[in-house]
Amino acid sequence: MKSTLTIISIIFFCLTCDGQKKLETVKLVKWSSESCDNTFDPYLLKNRVSNIEHTDSTTIYTVHFSENCCVSFEPAIKFSKSKLVLLPYREYKGDYCSCNCCFSIRYEIAGLKGKIYQLYFKESEVKLTDDYYDTVKTSYEVYNGEKINKSNKYGFKEGTWIKFYKDGKKEVVNVYPKQSLFYSPSPIWSKGYFESGRLSFYDRKDTTESWFEDGELKSQFIEYKIGDTTFKTGLRKFENRLLQKEYFEKTYPTVLKSEFDTAYRQGVILTEPVYKREYFQNGKPKYLFRVDTSFTWYETGQIESKSYKNGKVQFDNKSILTEQSFSWLGKGPEDWRNLDNTLYVQFYSNGTIKEIELVRDEPTQEGLAPGVRYTWAWSKEMNVIESPENWKEALPWTKFPELQVKPKMLIGLDKKSTPKKNSR
């Protein structure tokens, strides 16, 4: 009888211990995450705990951290001895994008009551803090009784910053926002001075100007808005005071239409040059944009290229034609505006065709394959050395009778050959 009671007592004791162990098990019982928070700079944000809450049965941690924009979260925890590790995922899930975002995860954990432990996020220790970036010692200088060159605890510039010449005169003055808490700010405006005291440059949100030391305007870039259209105009001069470039462009919302589908409409923001001119330092023209035709020149004054709405011709510095292109549009698949087609023609120095390359968009079952390339090439003796395999359409240059494709060049185009891999 005594032995039986002893066995029952042992079993009861073990069951009680097992129940206590289950009660004391540290486990994640609930979690939630917040989407990207643009309040903070993801490239400065440090991993931190912003809040700790306690309930009768759980401890709740809110963790802020920076991670790839396209991550997918599946939080987990690890608890061993005196180390609690909070994980946003055990293995990375999601795509990889070319940006980072600021996220937060709320972990609700059971079984922590009465335990002493160190807290980690991934592999780094984290602490409860209101400081979302690393901090530095604040600093400032005093100039004419006022504080200048002030930096806050995050190292961000605030207020007026002045750089001086050795003799104490102002060289550059930058004015920043009076308080910068989340992002390293750009100046509201900046002024630079020559040692003579004359203004050398002035930069603000909508205007940037600079001057030569005698006061002549050196460069000017202005942006302004009328209605929903933004205008930008600018000019710059060489050190010899001759004009280097000048331009005027506008950006505005518009609706693109299709030449082939009257039902097609797509809203876009379009930037369109009104005029643009560039010059060499000797004063000769380098580039001229016109609505119908644009030109580029060599420094000698010879034409380098002419661009039209539907094509372009290029010359070498001896005025010999080297390349010509032709562009046209075709009907695209449903929900697609147009198909782009461009024919690039390269010439030998004697004027015969060296290569013809067709680059075009092609409809597919999935929608569209952009920039598909086909190449034909000839030797100087006008023998075919390359052509697309199994080409069954009309030869694309027949659309342009001005191309001098001689009969001899067509011999052999029906033969199979391996197309080369092109990149333009």
For 401-412, the pLDDT digits (tens) are 888 888 888 887
Q: Output the pTM of the full model.
A: 0.72
324 shares its domain with 401: yes
Check: CB of residue 85 under 8 Å from CB of residue 112.
no
Give the closest residue to 86 by CA, choosing from 123, 37, 57.
123
Task: Identify the CA nearest to 60 among candidates 47, 69, 51.
Answer: 51
Is residue 396 in a domain? yes
Please check whether residue 382 lies inside any domain of the structure: yes
* Token pair of 410 as six digits: 């067509």
Per-residue pLDDT at 414? 66
Question: What pLDDT, on a 0 to 100 scale, did the predictor assign at position 373?
Answer: 96
Q: Are residues 106 and 29 in the same domain?
A: yes
pLDDT recorded at residue 81: 83
Query: Residue 116's pLDDT is what?
Result: 87
Last residue in a domain, options 102, 125, 148: 125
Give the residues of the chain that fall short of pLDDT 70: 1-24, 414-424
- Give the domain range for residue 259: 212-293
pLDDT of residue 5: 38
Per-residue pLDDT at 4:
44
- My answer on whether 332 and 383 are in the same domain is yes
Cα 232 from Cα 221, distance rounded (Å): 7
Q: Does some domain include residue 18?
A: no
**Residue 154: inside a domain, yes or no?**
yes
Give the end of a domain, one of 235, 260, 293. Answer: 293
Residue 121 within any structural domain of the chain: yes
Predicted pLDDT of residue 80: 87
Are 200 and 255 within one domain?
no
Domain count, the chain: 4
